[in-house]
Chain A
Amino acid sequence: MKKSLSMLLVGSMLVTALAGCGGNTDTQGAGDGQDNTDAAATAFLIGGTAPLTGEAAIYGNAVKNGAELAAEEINAEGGDIQIKVIFEDDEHNTEKAVSAYNALKDEGIQLSLGAVTSKPGEAIAPLHEEDHIFALTPSASSPANIEGNDVVFQMCFSDPNQGMASAEYIADQQLGTKIGVIYKSDDVYSTGILEQFKAEAESKGLEIVTEQAFTTETQNDFSVQLNACKSAGADLLFLPIYYTPASLILTQANAMGYTPKFFGVDGMDGILTVENFDTTLAEGVMLLTPFNADATDEKTVNFVTKYKEKYGETPNQFAADAYDCIYAYKQALEEAECTPDMSASDLCDKMIETFPTITFEGLTGDGAGITWDSNGAVSKSPKGMIIENGAYVGM
Chain B
Amino acid sequence: MKKFKKYAASKAGRDTLLSFGIVIAGYIYLQVMVATGNISSLLESLLVPICAYVIMAVSLNLTVGILGELSLGHAGFMSVGAFAGVVTTTCLAEAIPSAPLRLAVAILVGGICAAVAGVIVGVPVLRLKGDYLAIVTLAFGEIIKNIINVLYIGLDSTGLHFSLLEQRFELAEGGEMIINGPMGVSGVSRLSTLTTGFVLVLITLFLILNLINSRAGRAIMSVRDNKIAADSIGISTTRYKLMAFVISAAFAGMAGTLYGMNYTTITAAKFDFNTSILILVFVVLGGLGNIWGSIIAASLLTILPEVLREVGEYRMLIYAILLIVMMLFNNSPLKARLLEKRGMKQMSKLEKNGKEGA
| Interface, chain A (partner B; CB < 8 A) | 1, 3-4, 6-7, 10-11, 13-14, 17-18, 20-22, 24-25, 28, 52-53, 88-89, 93-95, 98-103, 105-106, 119, 122-123, 125-126, 144, 148, 185-188, 191, 215-217
The prevalent SS among residues of B at the interface is helix
Q: Is B300 positioned at the interface, with any CB of A under 8 Å from its CB? A: no
With A10-B324, A103-B309: A4-B183 Cβ-Cβ less than 8 Å: no
Chain B residues with CB below 8 A from A98, complex form: 45, 263
Instruction: For the complex formed, measure the closest distance between the CB of A40 and the CB atoms of chain B, giving whole angstroms.
Output: 17
Complex Cα distance A53/B313, Å?
9
Query: What residue of chain A has the Cβ atom nearest to residue B273's Cβ?
Result: A217
Chain A residues with CB below 8 A from B331, complex form: 3
List B292-333 residues whose CB lies under 8 Å from chain A.
Answer: 306, 309-318, 321-322, 324-325, 328-329, 331-333
Chain A residues with CB below 8 A from B316, complex form: 53
Q: Is B214 positioned at the interface, with any CB of A under 8 Å from its CB? A: no
Q: Is B234 positioned at the interface, with any CB of A under 8 Å from its CB? A: no
Q: Is B217 positioned at the interface, with any CB of A under 8 Å from its CB? A: no
Q: Which listed segment binds A: B36-44, B115-123, B129-137?
A: B36-44
Are A122 and B265 in contact (CB-based, < 8 A)? yes
A-B contact count, CB below 8 Å?
Answer: 116
Q: Is B181 positioned at the interface, with any CB of A under 8 Å from its CB? A: yes
Instruction: For the complex formed, measure the closest distance between the CB of A5 and the CB atoms of chain B, giving whole angstroms.
Output: 11
Complex Cα distance A7/B44, Å?
33
Are A24 and B313 in contact (CB-based, < 8 A)? yes
Are B321 and A14 in contact (CB-based, < 8 A)? yes
Contact partner, B313, options A52, A100, A148, Cβ 8 Å: A52
| Interface, chain B (partner A; CB < 8 A) | 40-42, 44-46, 49, 149, 181-183, 186-187, 190, 263-267, 269-270, 272, 306, 309-318, 321-322, 324-325, 328-329, 331-334
Instruction: For the complex formed, measure the closest distance between the CB of B269 and the CB atoms of chain A, giving whole angstroms.
Output: 5
Are A102 and B334 in contact (CB-based, < 8 A)? no
Contact partner, A14, options B186, B190, B322, Cβ 8 Å: B322
Complex Cα distance A18/B310, Å?
10
Instruction: For the complex formed, measure the closest distance between the CB of B264 and the CB atoms of chain A, giving whole angstroms.
Output: 5
Chain A residues with CB below 8 A from B149, complex form: 185-186, 215
Complex Cα distance A125/B187, Å?
10
Chain B residues with CB below 8 A from A18, complex form: 311, 318
Rank and list the top 5 A-B pairs by shortest CB-CB distance, nearest first.
Answer: A186-B182, A21-B311, A102-B41, A102-B45, A102-B42
Instruction: For the complex formed, measure the closest distance between the CB of B345 and the CB atoms of chain A, giving whole angstroms.
Output: 22
Are B42 and A99 in contact (CB-based, < 8 A)? yes
Complex Cα distance A338/B250, Å?
54
Are B325 and A106 in contact (CB-based, < 8 A)? no
Instruction: For the complex formed, measure the closest distance between the CB of B231 and the CB atoms of chain A, giving whole angstroms.
Output: 38
Contact partner, B270, options A28, A94, A105, Cβ 8 Å: A94
Are B329 and A99 in contact (CB-based, < 8 A)? no
Since A94-B270, A144-B187, A191-B183 are in contact, a sample of 12 more A-B pairs with Cβ atoms closer than 8 Å, ordered by chain A residue number, is A3-B331, A3-B333, A24-B311, A24-B314, A102-B42, A102-B44, A105-B41, A123-B265, A185-B149, A191-B181, A216-B269, A217-B272
Complex Cα distance A22/B316, Å?
15
Complex Cα distance A365/B186, Å?
30
